[in-house]
Amino acid sequence: MKKLFTTILISAGALFANGQNLSYNSLTADVYGSIEDSVIQATVLVVNSGSSTINASLKAYNTNLYPLAEHSFCWGILCNGVGTMVSPVTSPISPGGSDNTFRGDYFGHGYVGSSTIAYTIFDINYPNDSVQFSVNYHITPVGINQLEQTNSMSKLYPNPAKSMTAFNYQLKKGTKAEIKIVNMLGKTINTIPVSNASGNIVLSTADYPNGVYMVALSVGGKNITVQKLVVNR
């Protein structure tokens, strides 16, 4: 019985020693940028309140990723490319120390919208010792006053397109307009009414035959701007 009691105490002591030691502060939970920014960034300070060095890793989750936006992150000595969701390296955090190597990079590619990316930082040897946080990345239009003065449409991206392409539009205040997609025979195959001052349109091209199309912003029956779209699957 005494031996069993001693074993329980040792186990409980180990569990306590490897408890919740990771925490964070100084998080930029909401990061804002404009359509002119190539990248916007988030930072955080990770703290080890334990008595032993923690070899910490990081995992990212696309909680709500805006269409055509991309993100990547830096952790430890390495900045990862787009698409990497788990850090291939750990970052040692000394007892009572902190780590400021995290950086979240968000690429809006010139489109207005918001995304939420979640991150978990955890002890590679004791994964239950972890801390989670989320960052909201926001891309906003440039110059709110400009939105009331112009009717315009951004470049299509991607172009050539496989299953989709996307673009922003801006309208003068009170303007009603249409987005028209026209094939090379001059036939309008899709019309999208728009009336908000600004917005983003994700256009599905999955059902379009391969070829060249014209995408036009039309106001009062007049094409204000026209762009060529290539569909190639």
Instruction: Give 144-231's CATH code, choosing from 2.60.40.1120, 2.60.40.1930, 2.30.30.100, 3.90.1200.10.
Output: 2.60.40.1930
Binned at pLDDT 50, 70 and 90, residue 17 comes out as: very low
pLDDT in tens, 166-191: 888 888 877 889 999 999 988 999 99
Position 16 pLDDT exceeds 50: no
Position 149 pLDDT exceeds 70: no
**Residue, of 199 and 87, whose pLDDT is higher:** 87
**Residue, of 10 and 33, whose pLDDT is higher:** 33
> What is the residue extent of each domain of the chain?
21-140, 144-231
In this prediction, residues 84-102 reach a mean pLDDT of 96
Backbone angle region of 9, left / alpha / beta, with phi > 0 → left and psi within -120 to 50 → alpha = alpha
- This prediction's pTM: 0.61
